[in-house]
Amino acid sequence: MQMRPSRVLEKLRGGGVASCVRMNLADPRIVEIAAMSGFDCVWIDMEHAPNTVREVEHQVRAAKVHGVDTMVRVERGSYSDLVRPLELDAAGVLIPHVMGPEDARAVARTTRFHPVGRRPLDGGNTDGGFCGIPLEDYIRQANERRFVAVQIEDPEAMEEIEETASVEGIDILFFGPGDFAHGLGAPGDFAHPRLLEAMRKIPEVARRHGKFAGTVAAPDRVREIIDLGYRLINVGADVLGLSDYFRRTAAAFDLDGDPEGAG
């Protein structure tokens, strides 16, 4: 028995670009619709969304049915919060608000097995084939076939970005422009000079240290973001899609000159 390979890592290591879409809602059917639509990865959120571990388990399974990765953004709590999504067989974890190399090293120690880290060892869960994968193979494959992404979303984190990027066990530097602008004291200002500088610098630093860069983008900016050097790109979210659909559908009842719709 072998651990399932990561679609995202295969694309990135092959020089390609991996597409992603974010889920705020917990229904695995929404994940399955996204997976059937052609994305490489579905981003499941546990930092801001009230998803339980059991709900995440079903979401991961729904994506796997279609050979699509899941990246779970974790809560910053105990070590269990970081590793449990991996044990549910998520392809990767996204760690919010990593502030520097010391923080990144603690993440790597928690999420990577020997010889890189000291991730608590089990093997009796979905990712280990319920003890069906021999221990040595499980440890090696978990280190090779699962990714760890750290979010760079604070201006302070840029002060030691070279050192953070050099940490063994970290695969992806994921730029978060929303909180970055907030940290600059300019919420929503995505044209702020310091934000644009960081956005240009992160892919360069990642490449120098053999890592990949990820971020979010609007659909009409995907080519621009790729040209900057980003390789894991999240476009959109379930709540945005549903909100847009419902607003457009409800607009059918905005009848000119007939507010009551009586004809």
Query: What residues does each domain of the chain span?
Result: 7-149+213-250
User: What is the Cα–Cα distance from 72 to 151, expressed in whole angstroms?
Assistant: 12
Closest CA to 107 of 32, 62, 157, 68: 157
pLDDT tens across 22-53, in order? Answer: 999 999 999 999 999 999 999 999 999 999 99
- Of 51-55, 109-113, 233-237, 257-261, which gets the smallest average pLDDT? 257-261
| Average pLDDT value over all residues in the chain | 95
Fold of domain 7-149+213-250: TIM Barrel (3.20.20)
Region 79-101 average pLDDT: 96
pLDDT tens across 196-213, in order? Answer: 999 999 999 999 999 999
CA distances 4 to 68, 86, 125, Å, are: 11, 12, 13
pLDDT tens across 204-250, in order? Answer: 999 999 999 999 999 999 999 999 999 999 999 999 999 999 999 99
Whole-prediction pTM: 0.94
